[in-house]
Amino acid sequence: MLEVKNLTKIYDDGTVALRNVSFTVHDGEFLIIIGLSGSGKSTLLRCINRLIEPTEGQILWDGMDITAAESGELRKVRRQIGMIFQHFNLVKRSKVITNVIAGRLGYVSQWPSLLHRFPKGDREKALAALERLGIANQAQKRADELSGGQQQRVGIARALMQDPKIILADEPVASLDPVLAHSILGHLEMLNKEEGISILCSLHYLDLVQQYASRVIGLRAGEIVYRGTQQEIRAMTDEEFKDIYGQEAVRVGAGLGTSAGGAT
């Protein structure tokens, strides 16, 4: 269980990115954060594993305060928290398998890993993860030879290698077309349902939110302005969505003339 309490982040230049944000992610939830770009979604996700240092507040991971963890403890926490990114953040020149196996770095001993020596089972585990995401045949290619959707699946495979209890997903489909968006979120949903991995995901397409979220929070200018259950979000109309979200909110399918997510 992840509890965020009164989290505030003020950047050095004085920008207030998060103001007194509190919420909880229960085990097995698919919690979606909505909000315009610049509303603080990315900062919030990065504060959770302290890629960005929070200014104030607490983040409790199964009761342990991440914000107080020193570096060794922090790494142990981080390895339980998978993360995927809008721009995939793969090492483009490395092979797919190398990118995936890097997910084990938090578990292996440091010196052998610097020479790319990993324990026996890790390679098979990486191949199995790629198999599960349907791209096992791409394992020996360079990461930048893959299409966007395939690269994001490599990103998920890398997160899977951490045996995560929760996955933080920062706009995972914003760089992908609508069909791929469903495919990627489908993979996350499968992990959520089959493995009970909690998902904390930022999104901004209403139909995707309606289809996948088990709970939703809305951010605007660093503050939580909306909390809704699955039923509430599914009953929401575009106008209400735009109210909390701003005028730029769109459905994924809007351009295609279909309502891929279906609001029912």
* 233 is a site residue for other proteins (CB under 8 A): no
Among 104, 165, 187, 215, binds other proteins (CB under 8 A): 104
Distance CA 23, CA 59 (A): 10
Contact between 206 and 249 under an 8 Å Cβ cutoff? The reply is: yes
Q: Tell me whether residue 46 or residue 215 sits nearer to other proteins (CB atom).
A: 46
By CB under 8 A, how many residues form the interface with other proteins? Answer: 35
Among 61, 88, 118, 205, binds other proteins (CB under 8 A): 88
Backbone angles phi, psi at 23, to 5 degrees: -165, 170
| Amino acid residing at 213 | A
Distance CA 158, CA 211 (A): 25
Tell the smallest beta-carbon distance from residue 33 to other proteins (Å).
17
Q: Tell me whether residue 49 or residue 192 sits nearer to other proteins (CB atom).
A: 49
Distance CA 236, CA 242 (A): 10
Among 79, 125, 165, 204, binds other proteins (CB under 8 A): 79
Contact between 150 and 135 under an 8 Å Cβ cutoff? The reply is: yes
Among 51, 64, 68, 256, binds other proteins (CB under 8 A): 51
Distance CA 158, CA 105 (A): 10
Alpha helices (H) in 87-177, listed in sequence order: 96-101, 110-114, 120-132, 148-160
Tell the smallest beta-carbon distance from residue 24 to other proteins (Å).
21
Among 4, 97, 102, 129, binds other proteins (CB under 8 A): 102
Among 2, 43, 47, 49, binds other proteins (CB under 8 A): 49
Contact between 162 and 125 under an 8 Å Cβ cutoff? The reply is: no
Q: Tell me whether residue 82 or residue 228 sits nearer to other proteins (CB atom).
A: 82
* Contacts (Cβ under 8 Å, ≥6 apart) of 90: 99, 143, 144, 151, 154, 155, 158
Tell the smallest beta-carbon distance from residue 74 to other proteins (Å).
8
Residue 131-170 contact track with other proteins, rule CB under 8 A, x = bound: ------------------------x--x--xx-----x--
* 247 is a site residue for other proteins (CB under 8 A): no
Among 89, 175, 183, 259, binds other proteins (CB under 8 A): 89
**Angle between helices 178-195 and 148-160 in degrees, nearest 10:** 20
Find residue 20's DSSP bridge partners: none
Where along the sequence are the contacts to other proteins (CB under 8 A)? 46, 49, 51, 75-79, 81-83, 85, 87-94, 98, 102-107, 110, 113-114, 155, 158, 161-162, 168
